Structure 1
Amino acid sequence: MSTLPSRTAEATAQILVIAKEPVPGRVKTRLTPPFTPGEAATLAEAALADSLHAVLATPATQRVLALDGLPGSWLPAGFVIIPQRGERLDERLAAAFADTRRLRPEPVVLIGMDTPQVTPDLLAAACTALTGHDAVFGPAADGGFWLLGLREPDPGLLLGVPMSDPETGKHQLDRLERAGLTVHCLPELTDVDIAADAAHVAAQAPHTRFAAVLRELSR
């Protein structure tokens, strides 16, 4: 029996996940030390799996994974896979929105692989918000953002926004507001970047795959 939610009237947007294949030395490098590159990749894989399963449990018109790398055993069924395009992160985000929009001309909600504590309720709230707002924005504790939803994705809303900057979220929100868009803001979440973030997120969401892996590695 399928565990995927059926497409119903509650499904108001596509959900897009942008992620890297969890390969040692390519993901979560700021977790090293105290973790080895292999352990950091294992944590990244768990965080990505948690994120993908939260998306699966959320009503959506389509679920898309924009992937840098190759899919593995961590990928559940139910996703359309597209390659990432572009060099800088702003270019890759803009391309992922554009490519997803070409697949289906519907609103798009994007998340990354850094918030394993994300829940279907938060994702559903983001999708629903796009029925009454032009954009939805989820700020991150490090000054970035963990979610961005757009009713009418436009590359110009992302291209040139400085990424991996303490004020990335502020710059992105300013870009949306200068474009005259109405924006609904979601609660702030913590991205997993360093070991302290990992401990904080695991404590917040102790039943996630991510928390279980962290407990095992911390023994």
Structure 2
Amino acid sequence: MSTSPAGPTLLVIAKEPVPGRVKTRLTPPFTPEEAAALAEAALADTLATLLRVPAPRRVLVLQGRPGPWLPPGYAVVPQCGGGLDRRIAAAFAGCTGPTLLVGMDTPQLTPQLLAPATGPDSWPPGRAWFGPAEDGGFWALGLAEPRPDLVLGVPMSTPDTGRLQRLRLREAGLDVRALPPLRDVDTAADAAEVAAARPGGRFAAAHARLAPGPVAGGRNR
């Protein structure tokens, strides 16, 4: 039986796209300003996609300040301090009922990819949704009943992060369902593959404009 006819609360955890503070592994070949432009495009694509997903509430959990990339339809709350596990846990602590969190690093995301976790029958008690990332982390985490304790203490940004987080959910007795694996944008190779996966998005357009090319100066302009 459905417990959330309107879908889950949608959380996006993100950093303000400031040069030198986001996507630093893209530099080089991209400059800090170009890396920030790619981060902004990825975030804009993600936020636009979630506007097309049924949800009673959409929340941007932001480190930094909102900018013109933020569309209407989102509440904005600041990230707490501490490691990523604490920041994710705090994001869940601010919610009630089914809640699905995604990051800003998968602009190839579509409503269809999220459909299994956003339908009217997707959230019986004890359900969790987990979207693995190809680098060993995760791009989505959903809980029918928000439990910050299920995230706290999980080591983040390691090749074992996804495995350990999924194990934590299972050890809590949750029914863990999988979303498709996606590739995060961390390196220049990631950026090229992700841009190709969604050629009509803002990220793909920014990548086509900024990616290194054979023209003089080493850039396509």
Q: Normalising by structure 2, report the TM-score.
A: 0.91
Is residue 114–residue 179 contact of structure 2 (8 Å, CA) maintained in 1? no
In structure 2, the residue matched to 1:95 is 90
Structure 2: distance between partners of 1:130 and 1:184: 10
The residue type paired with residue 105 of structure 2 is D
Kindly provide the amino acid, as one letter, of the partner of residue 71 in structure 1: P
Aligned counterparts, 1:67-216, within 5 A: 67-99=62-94, 101=95, 105-128=96-119, 129-131=122-124, 134-216=127-209
Matched, 1:31 2:26: yes
Structure 2 unaligned blocks of 5 or more: 212-219
Shift of 1:122: 2.0
1:132 Cα deviation from its structure 2 partner: 6.8
- 1:12/1:131 contact within 8 Å kept: no
Q: Are the counterparts in 1 of residues 126 and 145 from structure 2 also a CA contact under 8 Å?
A: no
**8 A contact 1:127–1:149 mirrored in 2:** no
> Does the aligned pair in 2 maintain the 1:138–1:186 contact within 8 Å?
yes
Please tell me the residue identity of whatever aligns with 1:185: A
The alignment's TM-score, normalised by the length of structure 1, stands at 0.92
- SS, match of residue 113 in structure 2: helix
Among candidates 8, 17, 21, match of residue 16 of structure 2:
21
State the 1:131 CA deviation.
3.6
CA distance in 1, matches of 2:123, 2:131: 13
What SS does the aligned partner of 1:149 have? strand
Match among 54, 62, 79 for residue 59 of structure 1: 54
**How many residues get paired?**
207
What percentage of residue pairs aligned between the two structures are identical?
A: 61
Look up the SS of the partner of 1:118 in the other structure: coil
Cα RMSD for the two superposed structures = 1.2
Kindly name which structure, 1 or 2, has the bigger radius of gyration based on alpha carbons: 2
Q: Is the 8 A contact 2:125 2:145 kept in 1?
A: no
